[in-house]
C-alpha cells in the first residue's frame, strides 16, 4: 500500500508539471484562476498528455522507469524553464505548508484510505484477458507489430496501459497494475474536498456547484457499482471520472477573473479540446466528445493562432492511439475493421467476440448469448431494461433532466447548454454503440450535475470574481479558519470512512474466489495477501465451471514461436501468451530480433 501512495505522490507532481507545460506552451488556461481550479485542470491535462506521450514512446522503446522518467522530464521542461512562473510555486507552498494549511494531512488520510481500497488482488475478467498482458508487453518490449495475432484484445491499444507500464518494474513488477486508476480515484476525492471547502466558506460559484455535484455523484456510483474496476487497470475508470471534469472545464471561460479583460476568456476554450484528445487516446468510446469540444472552441471565434495550437495538440495527442493500433492490429480504430491497411500483420480472425458488432451484442444482451429469432432494431431493449437496472435508472433520470433543461434553457448559461449537449450526445452514442454501464455512467452524471447546479446557483446567476471572493473571506475570517480546519477534517473523514467501508465489502466474485481457496481450487499465500508495503499480486484464475480455479498452462509451438497457452486468460503469464480459442496463425516478423520484432500472419494454429 505504501508503494501506491508514493507512486501517486510522484504521479501527482509529474502530472501537474507536465500540465503546466501544456497550458504555458499553448496558452490554454489563464494563471489568474483560483489555485484549486488551476491545479485540477493542469493535473488532469498533464496526466492524459503524459499517458498518450508514453504510448507514442512505446513504438520505439519499452516503457521502463528510465525511459518513462526521461520522457516526463522532457515534457516538464517548458514549465521548469520559461513557464516557471506558471507553476505558481509560492501559492502552492502557502496552501500546502502555510500556518493554517491542512491539505497534506487530509490528502494523506484520503491516500491511505484509497490504498486500503486497492490493497487486494485484481479479479475482473478483462484484466486477465488483456489489461495485464498489454501492460507486460509495453514494459518488456513496447508496442510491436502483430500483437493482435497472438490475442486480438492486445490490439485494443490504450494510453492508460502505457501510463502504468513504467511502474511495473523491479520489486513492483506484477503488483503495480492499479497505480493509474488508484490515482484518479484519489484525485476524485481531492476534488470533492476542494469544492466542499468553498461551500463551507460561502465562496461558491456555479462552476463549484457543478464540480461538487458531478464529483459526489461519480464517487457514489463508481464506489458502489464499479468498485471492481477501480482496483484494476481498466481504462473505463479514467473516462468515467474524466468526462465530468471535461464538462467542468466548459464553465471556466465564464469565471470572471480580476485584472483580465473578458475577451481573454477564449483561452479556456482550448482546455476541453486537450482533455477530449487525451480521453480519446485512453478509450475510443470517448471519441464523440472530440467533435463537441472542437465546436465549443470554434464557437468562440478563436484567432488563427489558437486554431494552430488546437491543430498541433490534435496531432500530438491523437496519433499515438491510431498508430499503435495500426502497428498492433493493422487497423487504425481496432476492433473496428474500418480502413484496413493490408499490412502483413493485419488481424483477419473472424471470432465474433472481437469485432465491434460482437462487443455491441455483448453489452446489449448483458453478456448472454443472443437468442435465436428474427433480428430487428431495438430487439435487445426489453432484455436490457430487465437486466441493467442501474443503467436504465440513469437514462431515465437523464430523460427527466432533458425536460428540465427545455423548461430552463433560456436561463441557462452557455456552459450549462454545452454541458447538456455533451451529456445527450454521449449517451446516445453509447446506447447505439455498446450500452454498458461502465461506458455510459459519465454522461448521465453530467446531466444530473447540471440540474443540481441550476437548483443551487439559479442557472444564470452572476458569478463572483476572484477579487470579490477574497474580499468576502476577509470579512469572515472566523468562517474561513473553520473551513480550513474542522470543516475540511469532517469532510475528509467522511470520505475516508466511505472508502474504508467500500474496502471491507466483498464482491460476489471475491466470495467465489474464497470458496475456491477453501476447496483447494485456487492458490493462496503471502503473494496474494494485502500488504503495508506492496499491493498483492493478481491470481491467475478462470471462471468457466462454477467455482474459480487456477488456470492450467501448457506450451505450444506455433511455427517459430513457442507460446504459453492458458486454459482461458493470460493474466501475467510469461510472454508470449496466446489463448487457445484464438486460432489465427503467426510467426516472428524478424527472427533476429525475437519478440521485439513483432509478428506476421502465418497458417492457422493447430
For every residue of 262-297, which 3-state class applies, written as one string? HHHHHHHHHHHHHHHHHHHHHCHHHCHHHHHHHHHH
473 near 460, Cβ under 8 Å? no
Q: Quick check: bond before 576 cis, omega within 30?
A: yes
> Is the predicted pLDDT of residue 491 greater than 90, yes or no?
no
Predicted local confidence at residue 57, as pLDDT = 97
What is the four-CA torsion angle of 94, 250, 306, 20, rounded to 10 degrees? Answer: 20
CA dihedral 471, 474, 476, 482 (to 10 degrees): 120
Q: Flag whether pLDDT at 386 surpasses 90.
A: yes
Q: Which of 37-46, 59-68, 147-156 has the lowest mean pLDDT?
A: 147-156
Furthest-apart CA pair in the chain: how many Å? 79
CA distance 289 to 276: 6
Tell me the three cell numbers of residue 534.
506492496
392 Cβ neighbours under 8 A, 6+ residues apart: 384, 385
pLDDT of residue 361: 86
End-to-end CA distance of the chain: 44
Please state, in angstroms and rounded to a whole number, the distance separating the CA atoms of residues 456 and 465: 18
Q: What is the pLDDT of residue 457?
A: 79
pLDDT at 416: 94
For residue 535, how far is the Cα from the chain centroid?
20
User: Above 80 in pLDDT, residue 135?
Assistant: yes
Task: Tell me how far apart the alpha carbons of residues 280 and 297 are, in angstroms, rounded to a whole number.
Answer: 17
pLDDT band at 458 (very low <50, low <70, confident <90, very high): low
Percentage of the chain exceeding pLDDT 70: 91
List phi, psi (to 5°) of 587. -150, 170
Least confident of 77-86, 145-154, 483-492: 483-492
Give the pLDDT score at 483.
47
Q: Which of 388, 396, 452, 387 lies closest to 419, judged by CA?
A: 452
Q: Please tell me the predicted confidence (pLDDT) of residue 485.
A: 62
pLDDT the model gives residue 357: 78
User: DSSP of 516-578, one letter per residue?
Assistant: HHHTTSS--SGGGS--SSSPPPPP-EE-SSSS-EEPPEEEEEETTEEEEEESS--TTPSSSB-
SS3 158: coil
- Which of 182-191, 328-337, 403-412, 579-588 shows the lowest per-residue confidence on average (mean pLDDT)? 579-588
Q: What is the mean pLDDT of the chain?
A: 88
CA–CA distance, 255 with 275 (Å, rounded to integer)? 19
Q: Are 416 and 454 in contact (CB under 8 A)?
A: yes
Considering only 89-103, 470-484, 539-553, which range has the smallest mean pLDDT?
470-484
CB 235 within 8 A of CB 283: yes
Stretch 70-87: mean pLDDT: 96
pTM of the model: 0.93
Once rounded to an integer, what is the mean pLDDT over residues 106-131?
92
| Residues facing 565 on adjacent strands | 554
- Does the pLDDT at position 544 exceed 80? no
pLDDT over 50 (residue 203): yes
Neighbours of 13 (CB within 10 A): 14
- What span, in angstroms and rounded, lies between the C-alpha atoms of 446 and 341? 38
Residue 353 pLDDT exceeds 70: no
Q: Which percentage of the chain shows pLDDT scores above 90?
A: 63
Do residues 94 and 207 make contact, with C-beta atoms less than 8 angstroms apart? no
Backbone angles phi, psi at 586, to 5 degrees: -160, 160
Q: What is the mean pLDDT of residues 386-404?
A: 95
Which pLDDT belongs to residue 133?
A: 95
> Measured between alpha carbons, how far is residue 58 from residues 74, 181, 233, 312 in Å?
16, 20, 18, 21
Helix or strand (DSSP H, E) at 139: helix 132-140
Nearest to 249 by CA among 43, 532, 62, 498: 43
Residue 273 has pLDDT above 60, yes or no: yes
Is a pLDDT exceeding 80 seen at residue 466?
no
pLDDT at 257: 79
Asked if residue 459 has pLDDT above 60, the reply is no
Amino acid at each position: 500500500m505504501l508503494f501506491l501512495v508514493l507512486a501517486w505522490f510522484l504521479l501527482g507532481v509529474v502530472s501537474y508539471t507536465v500540465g503546466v507545460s501544456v497550458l504555458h506552451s499553448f496558452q490554454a488556461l489563464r494563471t489568474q484562476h483560483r489555485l484549486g481550479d488551476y491545479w485540477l485542470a493542469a493535473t488532469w491535462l498533464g496526466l492524459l498528455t503524459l499517458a498518450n506521450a508514453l504510448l507514442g514512446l512505446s513504438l520505439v522503446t519499452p516503457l521502463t522507469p528510465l525511459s518513462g522518467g526521461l520522457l516526463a522530464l522532457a515534457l516538464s521542461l517548458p514549465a521548469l524553464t520559461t513557464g516557471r512562473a506558471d507553476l505558481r510555486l509560492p501559492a502552492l507552498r502557502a496552501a500546502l505548508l502555510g500556518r493554517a494549511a491542512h491539505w497534506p494531512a487530509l490528502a494523506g488520510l484520503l491516500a491511505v484510505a484509497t490504498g486500503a481500497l486497492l490493497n487486494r488482488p485484481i479479479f475482473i475478467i478483462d484484466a486477465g484477458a488483456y489489461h495485464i498482458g498489454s501492460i507486460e508487453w509495453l514494459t518488456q518490449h513496447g508496442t510491436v507489430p502483430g500483437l493482435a495475432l497472438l490475442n486480438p484484445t492486445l490490439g485494443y491499444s490504450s494510453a492508460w496501459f502505457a501510463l502504468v507500464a513504467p511502474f511495473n518494474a523491479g520489486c513492483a513488477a506484477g503488483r503495480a497494475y492499479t497505480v493509474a486508476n488508484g490515482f484518479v480515484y484519489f484525485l476524485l476525492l481531492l476534488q470533492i474536498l476542494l469544492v466542499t471547502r468553498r461551500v463551507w466558506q460561502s465562496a461558491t460559484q456555479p462552476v463549484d456547484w457543478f464540480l461538487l455535484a458531478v464529483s459526489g455523484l461519480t464517487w457514489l456510483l463508481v464506489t458502489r457499482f464499479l468498485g471492481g474496476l477501480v482496483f484494476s487497470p481498466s481504462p473505463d475508470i479514467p473516462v468515467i471520472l474524466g468526462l465530468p471534469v471535461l464538462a467542468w472545464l466548459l464553465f471556466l471561460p465564464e469565471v470572471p477573473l480580476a485584472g483580465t479583460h473578458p475577451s481573454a476568456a477564449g483561452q479556456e476554450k482550448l482546455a476541453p479540446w486537450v482533455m477530449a484528445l487525451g480521453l480519446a487516446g485512453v478509450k475510443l468510446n470517448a471519441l464523440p466528445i472530440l467533435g463537441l469540444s472542437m465546436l465549443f472552441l470554434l464557437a468562440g471565434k478563436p484567432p488563427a493562432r489558437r486554431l494552430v495550437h488546437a491543430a498541433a495538440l490534435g496531432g500530438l495527442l491523437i496519433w499515438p492511439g491510431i498508430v499503435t493500433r495500426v502497428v498492433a492490429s493493422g487497423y487504425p480504430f481496432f476492433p473496428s475493421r474500418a480502413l484496413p491497411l493490408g499490412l502483413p500483420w493485419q488481424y483477419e480472425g473472424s471470432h465474433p467476440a472481437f469485432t465491434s458488432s460482437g462487443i455491441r451484442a455483448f453489452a446489449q444482451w448483458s453478456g448472454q448469448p443472443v437468442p435465436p429469432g428474427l433480428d430487428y432494431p431495438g430487439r435487445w431493449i426489453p432484455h436490457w431494461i430487465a437486466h441493467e437496472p442501474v443503467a436504465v435508472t440513469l437514462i431515465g433520470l437523464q430523460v427527466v433532466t432533458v425536460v428540465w433543461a427545455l423548461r430552463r434553457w433560456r436561463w441557462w448559461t452557455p456552459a450549462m447548454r454545452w454541458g447538456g449537449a455533451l451529456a445527450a450526445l454521449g449517451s446516445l452514442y453509447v446506447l447505439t454503440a455498446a450500452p454498458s454501464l461502465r461506458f455510459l455512467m459519465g454522461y448521465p452524471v453530467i446531466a444530473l450535475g447540471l440540474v443540481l447546479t441550476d437548483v443551487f446557483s439559479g442557472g444564470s446567476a452572476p458569478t463572483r470574481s476572484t477579487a470579490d471572493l477574497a474580499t468576502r473571506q476577509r470579512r469572515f475570517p472566523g468562517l474561513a479558519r473553520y473551513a480550513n480546519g474542522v470543516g475540511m477534517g469532517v469532510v475528509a473523514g467522511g470520505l475516508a470512512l466511505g472508502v474504508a467501508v467500500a474496502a471491507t465489502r466483498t464482491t460476489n466474485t471475491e466470495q467465489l474466489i474464497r470458496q475456491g481457496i477453501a476447496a483447494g481450487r485456487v492458490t493462496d499465500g503471502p503473494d496474494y495477501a494485502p500488504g503495508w508495503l506492496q499491493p498483492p499480486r493478481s491470481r491467475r484464475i478462470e471462471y468457466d465451471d462454477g467455482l474459480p480455479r487456477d488456470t492450467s498452462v501448457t506450451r505450444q509451438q506455433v511455427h517459430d514461436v513457442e507460446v504459453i497457452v492458458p486454459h482461458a486468460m493470460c493474466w501475467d503469464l510469461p510472454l508470449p501468451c496466446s489463448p487457445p480459442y484464438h486460432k489465427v496463425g503467426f510467426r516472428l516478423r524478424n527472427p533476429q530480433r525475437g519478440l521485439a520484432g513483432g509478428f506476421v500472419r502465418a497458417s492457422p494454429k493447430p
